[in-house]
Amino acid sequence: MDATPNPRRLGEFAMIAKLFAPLAAKAEGAFGLLDDVATLRLPEGQELVAKVDAIVESVHFLRQDPADLIARKALRVNLSDLAAKGAEPMGYLLSLSVASWCDDDWLARFAAGLAEDQEYYGIALLGGDTTSTPGPLTLSITALGTIAAGRTIRRAGAKPGDCVFVSGSIGDAAAGLAILSGAGAALSEADRAAVIARYRLPEPRLDLGRRLIGLASAALDVSDGLIADLGHIAEVSQVRICVDGPLIPLSLPFANLWGRGTDAVRRAATAGDDYEIAFTAPEAARSAIAAAAKDTGIKVREIGRVEAGEGVVLLDEQGKPVPIERAGFTHF
Give which of ligand ADP, Mg ion, none residue 303 binds (C-beta under 5 to 8 Å, depending on kind): none
Of 39 and 238, nearer to ligand ADP (C-beta) is 39
Which residues inside 63-102 make contact with ligand ADP, applying CB under 6 A? Answer: 94, 96
Neighbour order of strands in the sheet with 124-133:
46-56, 138-148, 88-99, 124-133
Contact between 127 and ligand ADP (CB under 6 A)?
A: yes
Among 14, 25, 28, 35, binds ligand ADP (CB under 6 A): 35
Give which of ligand ADP, Mg ion, none residue 35 binds (C-beta under 5 to 8 Å, depending on kind): ligand ADP
Contact between 33 and ligand ADP (CB under 6 A)?
A: yes
What CA–CA distances, in Å, run from 68 to 65, 72, 184, 324? 9, 6, 26, 36
Contact between 20 and ligand ADP (CB under 6 A)?
A: yes
Give which of ligand ADP, Mg ion, none residue 33 binds (C-beta under 5 to 8 Å, depending on kind): ligand ADP
Neighbour order of strands in the sheet with 300-307:
218-221, 277-281, 163-167, 300-307, 240-244, 311-315
Contact between 28 and Mg ion (CB under 5 A)?
A: no
Which residues inside 125-154 make contact with Mg ion, applying CB under 5 A? Answer: 129
Radius of gyration for the chain, computed over Cα atoms and rounded to the nearest angstrom: 21
Contact between 129 and ligand ADP (CB under 6 A)?
A: yes
SS3 track for the chain: CCCCCCCCCCCHHHHHHHHHHHHHCCCHHHHHHCCCCCCCCCCCCEEEEEEEEEEEECCCECCCCCHHHHHHHHHHHHHHHHHHHCCEEEEEEEEEEEECCCCHHHHHHHHHHHHHHHHHHCCEEEEEEEEEECCCCEEEEEEEEEEECCCCCCCCCCCCCCEEEEECCCCHHHHHHHHHCCCCCCCCHHHHHHHHHHHHCCCCCHHHHHHHCCCCCEEEECCCCHHHHHHHHHHHHCCEEEEEHHHCCCCHHHHHHHCCCHHHHHHHHHCCCCCCEEEEECHHHHHHHHHHHHHHCCCEEEEEEEECCCEEEEECCCCCECCCCCCCCCCC
Size of the site for ligand ADP (CB under 6 A): 12
Minimal CB distance residue for Mg ion: 129
Stretch that binds Mg ion, among 45-53, 123-131, 152-160, 239-247 (CB under 5 A): 123-131
Stretch that binds Mg ion, among 21-29, 49-57, 121-129, 211-219 (CB under 5 A): 121-129
Among 36, 44, 189, 325, binds ligand ADP (CB under 6 A): 36
Q: How far is the CB of 264 from ligand ADP (least distance, A)?
A: 41
Among 52, 54, 130, 154, binds ligand ADP (CB under 6 A): 130
Contact between 125 and ligand ADP (CB under 6 A)?
A: yes
Give which of Mg ion, ligand ADP, none residue 71 binds (C-beta under 5 to 8 Å, depending on kind): none
Q: How far is the CB of 127 from ligand ADP (least distance, A)?
A: 3
Of 97 and 223, nearer to ligand ADP (C-beta) is 97
Contact between 263 and ligand ADP (CB under 6 A)?
A: no
Of 60 and 299, nearer to ligand ADP (C-beta) is 60
Size of the site for Mg ion (CB under 5 A): 1
Binding site for ligand ADP (CB under 6 A): 16, 20, 33, 35-36, 94, 96, 125, 127-130
Binding site for Mg ion (CB under 5 A): 129
